[in-house]
Amino acid sequence: MENVVVVDHPLVQHKLTQCRRVETETWQFRDLVEEITALLLYEAVRDITTAEIDLVTPVGPGKGRVISEAAPVFVAVLRAGLGMVPGALRLFPYARAGHIGLYRDHDTHVPVEYYCNLPPAINDVDCFLLEPMLATGGSASHAINVLKKAGVQKIKLLSLIAAPEGIKAIMQSHPDVKIYLASVDEKLNENAYIVPGLGDAGDRLFGTA
Ligand code: URA
């Protein structure tokens, strides 16, 4: 699974464990998702292009490196992906953001698109799809199709937790997309929830349970 990176850093694992706990409150959950997203992104941009520049420190001339690529774009899958946006923008405050609204049909679990708003001219920029729970992979796969149709060529998927079924689905439908995760859990249950997972990420982020 060379296209799947599980970030097993102790900080990520500690924060994810707090997220999973049923007693973790909404305000804590939000902060944790934000922090985990920043840590996943830290790993996901390891290959970003930098350039050497001249600079002056208070002590004298020196050299440094700066990111030389165009600003990335973060695309949140509504609604739970919204919880990941602040963590991503914390690392790249100058980035742009898009939104793709999908809901899972209650009976079929098939994603239905109800909203799409992407920044212009994103063909050549790094695009990070933010989808906290990679369950069946249906929503993420649909969102990646939307991005590809918009001309996006460089897509990475950031999720907190994946089920093996979701990873398999993305690897089959989009083998070019690299996936960054904090955990691969055991399985999906009959309602397509990840087990043990953390419950409904949207409800836990927005207090709507
Ligand atoms: N979406 C969630 O929020 N949680 C799951 O376990 C699966 C999909």
Per the confidence metrics, is the pTM higher than 0.85?
A: yes
To the query of whether residue 176 is one of the catalytic residues in this protein, the response is no
182: three-class secondary structure by DSSP: strand
Across the strands, what pairs with 130?
A: 76, 158
pLDDT score, position 53: 98
Q: How many angstroms separate the CA atoms of 88 and 66, rounded?
A: 18
Please report, for the chain, the start and end positions of each structural domain, with discontinuous segments joined by +.
4-206
Which segments of 36-172 are extended strands (E)?
50-57, 60-67, 73-78, 96-104, 111-117, 126-130, 133-134, 154-162
Residue to mutate (ligand 1; options 22, 131, 133, 186; most atoms within 8 A of CB): 133
pLDDT by residue for the chain (209 residues), tens only, comes to: 889 999 999 999 999 999 999 999 999 999 999 999 999 999 999 999 999 999 999 999 999 999 999 999 999 999 999 999 999 999 999 999 999 999 878 787 788 999 999 999 999 999 999 999 999 999 999 999 999 999 999 999 999 999 999 999 999 999 999 999 999 999 999 999 999 999 999 999 999 98
Q: How many angstroms separate the CA atoms of 159 and 182, rounded?
A: 7
Which of 46, 49, 108, 136 is the catalytic position?
108
For atom 7 of ligand 1, which residue has the closest CA?
A: 193
pLDDT score, position 209: 84
To the query of whether residue 107 is one of the catalytic residues in this protein, the response is no
Q: Does domain 4-206 have CATH number 3.40.50.2020?
A: yes
Q: Work out which ligand 1 atom sits closest to the CA atom of 201.
A: 3
Ligand 1 binding residues, C-beta < 6 A: 80, 133, 135, 193-194, 197, 200-202
Instruction: Of 133, 136, 118, 8, give the one whose Cα is nearest residue 80.
Output: 133
Q: How far is CA 166 from the centre of its chain?
A: 14
To the query of whether residue 126 is one of the catalytic residues in this protein, the response is no
Residue 77 dihedral angles phi and psi, to the nearest 5°: -85, 115
pLDDT score, position 2: 85
CA 99-101-107 angle, 5° bins: 155
pLDDT score, position 161: 98
